[in-house]
Amino acid sequence: MVVVAACGGSSQPSSTSSTSGPSSSASAPAPSTSTGPSASSGSSGSQTSASGEIEIIATDEAGQFRFVPDRIEVRPGQTISLRVVNQGASAHDLAVPDLGVETGQIDPGQEATLTLTAPSTPGQYRFICTIPGHEQLGMRGTLVVQR
Ligand SMILES: [Cu+2]
């Protein structure tokens, strides 16, 4: 680097170079596995915390029908609350057919909370959007029950 302006007056070379900026924000939130305290308020990135609330985003942007995240890990017998937020342009829902639970239709911009108790048997259980065609377009995920 070339120092352009060398002003003789200042005592400190106050170089507060802001290198740490949130560069990419718009895309999907990475399902972080960090167990540290969540830095900012609001968004819950942790998967299975003690509170047992998990947020799932339903999106259909640019024809990409999907849930984010599309994989949830819970413990056998754990009761969790799935907060399904519809950020898409059309209505969605979320159902776990094997467990017989579903949110019912969620309009765009709305959200619904689905409380369920994980089976005591470890395994993998599908969750889907039951709106016709959406599962085929990719709107599905896996609920993983494991110790
Ligand atoms: Cu859908």
Number of domains in the chain: 1
Residue 6 domain-assigned? no
Residue 45 covered by a domain: no
Residues, beta carbon < 5 Å, ion ligand 1: 92, 129, 131, 134, 139
Give the Å distance between the CA of 48 and the centre of ligand 1.
Answer: 24
Measuring CA to CA, which residue among 94, 89, 47, 104 is closest to residue 67? 94
Q: What is the pLDDT of residues 106-132, one digit of tens each?
A: 999 999 999 999 999 999 999 999 999
Q: What is the tens place of the pLDDT at every residue in 38-81? A: 344 444 444 444 568 999 999 999 889 999 999 999 999 999 99
Q: Is 10 within a domain?
A: no
In a domain, 24, yes or no: no
Residue 64 lies in a domain: yes
**Residue 96 belongs to what domain range?**
53-145
Within a domain: 5: no
Residue 89, domain CATH? 2.60.40.420
SS3 97: helix
Q: How many angstroms separate the most distant Cα atoms in the chain?
A: 73
- What one-letter code names the amino acid at 30? A
Report the C-alpha gap between 52 and 69 in whole angstroms.
15
Residue 131 Cα to ligand 1 midpoint, Å, equals 5
